[in-house]
Structure 1
Amino acid sequence: MNWQQLTSSKRSGSENKTAYTDAVRTSFVRDYDRLIFSSAFRRLQNKTQVFPLPGPGVFVHNRLTHSLEVASVGRSLGKAVGDALAQKYPLENDYFHEFYKYELPSVIAAGCLAHDIGNPPFGHSGEEAIRTFFRDLTGTEKAQFSELLSENQQRDFLFFEGNANAFRTLTHSFNEKSAGGFRLTYATLASIVKYPSDSLSGFNKEQLVTKKSGFFDSEIETYKHIAKELGIPRLHESKNIFARHPFVYLVEAADDICYRIIDFEDAHRLNIISIDTIKELFLQFFDNETGYDARERVAQVFNDINDNNQRVQFLRAKLINLLINRVTNVFMEKEEELLQGTLQKSLIDYLPESELQLIKTIDEFSIEHIYNHRSVVEIEIAGYNVIGGLLKEFFAAVISPKSTKSKKLLQLISQQFVITGERDRLYNDMQSVVDFIAGMTDLFAVDVYRKITGIEFPQIR
């Protein structure tokens, strides 16, 4: 791979059109704008990040606020890396310098905005709820699922992955005549595909690129086309496994930095963990720093702040800034492996050993005290029941579309999700059902579930 080819501004669905030029809004700024003004992005405001969405007076992050913060960190990473590349290669052409000095921040920020756009409601349990439903199929439904879908298509559901669903959400036309979905640039689209392999090759932890999957069977050709345009190599002759686009590592790093720190901030606001715990864990990162980042100075400013929430915000800002600098240095140190497609760990995993141990301590603490907190477990269970219940009803309607109940149920699915009822298009119809449910907000999913199961009687609005 080479830095120049990786920057293509071609758009999905508009490959044969002349690139639109605008002195104010460049192609990559328009990517960011298209995402932030989209309905799919706005719906993230009512999707769980970790903690259930609380009542008035208490604020925790949802998918939307998380994505905005990741985009902010990603923009800084893009600026730092872009400046470093432009400085390292002074003899490259004007386009190279223009892109890396001014456009890369927009690409990474847009990729960060989009990184969770394919995630279903109820946090990470939403993905597992979809997988569990299809793994537990029995009888006629199981028989048709096995008979009419290829192995790769089956695994799209058995190993449903939010990353792959994000790529589908951004590139699929659904029921519109115009092709290309959001019509984002190839550079932005490739920056969100963390695991560039199909479901059949994915979920193999021997390689980073196959840890999960990055595109469904329905989007394989779309990704192949983008990869060819960007010069992303295929890593296996007979399998759909590709190298990562180097920008993916920056999007991933921004997410890695944010969720580790922000989840602590939310837990503190909910009185799950104390200010002393956060102080103890976070200040250790500054043990070997000097100047404004020296531990003594950071601790002094921290202690001079009266409000505990402000104290947490101060430490959060200092730590994010420190990690941005660390990750930028790692990216430049690993440039050769990034371009060869051989880097086998995320950037944050290349931090100095002392800091890696601190990251490990944070991860272990989070698992024990945050991700297994009662409120988190409760919403995960709710996700299993609500998503499982919705799939049970709508999948049965797709399998037997001519029954009276099925016809009524299918009327509830938005027109953008096409249900053909044709036997040889079961895979597409199943995708439409999952598209419909995965795109729901937490509250809308609960509302539909209650009404179609009779728990709540519908009212005329």
Structure 2
Amino acid sequence: MILNKLFSDKRTGEANPITSQDPRSEFQRDFDRIIFSSSFRRLQNKTQVFPLPGSVFVHNRLTHSLEVASVGRSLGSLIGDNLCEKYKSDLDENAKIFYKHNLYNVISSACLCHDIGNPAFGHSGEDAIASFFSKNESNLKHLFTGPEWSDFINFEGNANAIRVLTQQQNGKDEGGVKLTYSTIASIAKYPCESIGKDKDFIYRKKFGFFQSEKSTFIDVANETQMTNDGSNKLIYFRHPFVWLVEVADDICYNIIDLEDAHRLGIIDTRTCEDLFNFLIQCIGIDNTTKVEEKLSKLKNKNERVAYLRAKSINSLTLKATQVYIDKFDSILDGTFNISIYDFIKADCDALNLIENFSIEHIYNHRSVIEIENAGYNVMYELLQHLVPPILIENKKRKQSDNKALRLIPSQFLYDGDNNYKKVLGVIDYVSGMTDNYATDLYRKIKGIDIGMTL
């Protein structure tokens, strides 16, 4: 049965699983490896939605990822128990142990690192990287193959996550963070190469791996039983675990952005409470009478909103579990073509109201627009400063070109004869920067700040 083959403890950078005396399972070790990785720590200084104001705490990429991992663990536990019960006569002993005791570890680990490839300044950072190459097409495109150029002009945080987690930087260990293939497969929302993008299909709306990670992804896909969709390009249907990671992310950012906006005073308490109450009623899982009784005892406005936020996430988590179980067959065969969150939203007016409200009052708030504009310019100018010099032959570089390249740490200086790899090194460096680091470097190379800092 396919459920017996969907998971693997094989790791990137290791030809065969290594026998360990570690009391943790291989999948528990994934979670710990991510937590202690430098790329994960850098998420603490990357924008989620709002600029980091200092005096009022709002979510950054790190706190968001921790919360998504918490929801993902719940989903993995609920679904694992259900699969063990529903298919108990079909599962072998290894599979029973996995679904009962380790599926939640895989989902929480994948949730933990789902944003690890996102550059500074959120989606505006992604847009800046893609736009840099699009706007310089006449000067750069001829230096790359068609698929390589497609990777650059469609730069995507999801694909970059696979790269961050699996690629070997100069002087570092092979296999990157060395996660299990199960965790890698679970973050591949768009398991196709960039030339296979097609917005009509959920699994091809964006792309999931660069040409540089193509062979690695093929290994992961084969080992975890991902199915090729039969097209001429390298495109797979989503792995079944991906849906749980995606809906955990969707639940958290749609709900928690409201709480952050409330703490910043962008929306008032009554509006926030009404939206959450409407959602809880709309999902119809929680006992609304008990919710009202609890609220009557809470007088602090932030505590009331936090309570309703928690109940909203709980309702959506339980609803998502129901949908996943009901649609499991179509998820397995690749015919389910809508996210679980959007499937719920189609029958829940509250989620549509929250989405429309958030677009108007949160995502287009002046503070958000300002940082998106600033972030775009910072990231674009850093690439403008570093990409052209890296593509010039050594003997033709001017002193200014060499000085620019001296800014790039040695671990990001790749194959000197391969333009694609050289540019990927620059992208690795720039996309890995925190908001503060990128802004600081931008100010220095532009002459806005002059002086020594260590």
TM-score (norm 2): 0.96
User: Which ranges in structure 1 are unaligned for 5 or more consecutive residues?
Assistant: none
CA RMSD of aligned residues (A): 1.6
For 2:451, the equivalent position in structure 1 comes to 458
Q: Distance in 2 between matches of 1:93 and 1:419?
A: 45
Displacement, 1:93?
Answer: 2.2
Deviates further, 59-68 or 345-354: 345-354
Displacement, 1:286?
Answer: 3.2
Q: Distance in 1 between matches of 2:10 and 2:430?
A: 31
Deviates further, 229-238 or 325-334: 229-238
> 67, 70, 74: which is aligned to 2:68?
70
TM-score (norm 1): 0.94
CA contact (8 A) 2:282 2:350 kept: no
Deviates further, 316-325 or 90-99: 90-99
Deviates further, 409-418 or 66-75: 409-418
Which deviations, in whole Å up to 9, do the C-alpha atoms of 1:356-399 show, x marking residues without a partner?
x2211111111100000000000001111111110110012112
Q: Distance in 1 between matches of 2:432 and 2:343?
A: 35
Map of 1:413-432 to 2, 5 A cutoff?
413-422=408-417, 425-432=418-425
Map of 1:14-413 to 2, 5 A cutoff?
14-16=14-16, 18-22=17-21, 24-55=23-54, 57-91=55-89, 92-137=91-136, 142-143=138-139, 145-176=140-171, 178-202=173-197, 204-287=198-281, 293-351=286-344, 353-355=346-348, 357-400=349-392, 401=394, 402-413=397-408
Q: Distance in 1 between matches of 2:416 and 2:172?
A: 20
CA contact (8 A) 1:196 1:214 kept: yes
Secondary structure, counterpart of 1:311 in structure 2: helix
Displacement, 1:288?
Answer: 6.3
CA contact (8 A) 1:195 1:213 kept: yes
Which deviations, in whole Å up to 9, do the C-alpha atoms of 1:325-375 show, x marking residues without a partner?
1111111111111211221111122227542x2211111111100000000
Q: Distance in 2 between matches of 1:298 and 1:335?
A: 31
* Percent identity of equivalent pairs: 48
Displacement, 1:300?
Answer: 2.9
Letter in structure 2 aligned against 1:7: F
CA contact (8 A) 2:283 2:315 kept: no
Letter in structure 1 aligned against 2:81: D
Displacement, 1:21?
Answer: 3.4
Q: Summarize the Cα distance change of 1:219–1:377 in structure 2 as closer, same or farther, 3 Å threshold.
A: same
Q: Distance in 1 between matches of 2:103 and 2:80?
A: 6
User: Which ranges in structure 2 are unaligned for 5 or more consecutive residues?
Assistant: none
Q: Summarize the Cα distance change of 1:288–1:147 in structure 2 as closer, same or farther, 3 Å threshold.
A: closer
Which deviations, in whole Å up to 9, do the C-alpha atoms of 1:198-242 show, x marking residues without a partner?
11111x211111100000111111111111111111113421110
Q: Distance in 2 between matches of 1:85 and 1:154?
A: 42
Displacement, 1:304?
Answer: 2.2
CA contact (8 A) 2:386 2:404 kept: yes
Q: Distance in 1 between matches of 2:173 and 2:365?
A: 45
CA contact (8 A) 1:49 1:63 kept: yes
CA contact (8 A) 1:197 1:215 kept: yes
Size of the aligned set, in residue pairs, is 450
CA contact (8 A) 1:283 1:299 kept: no
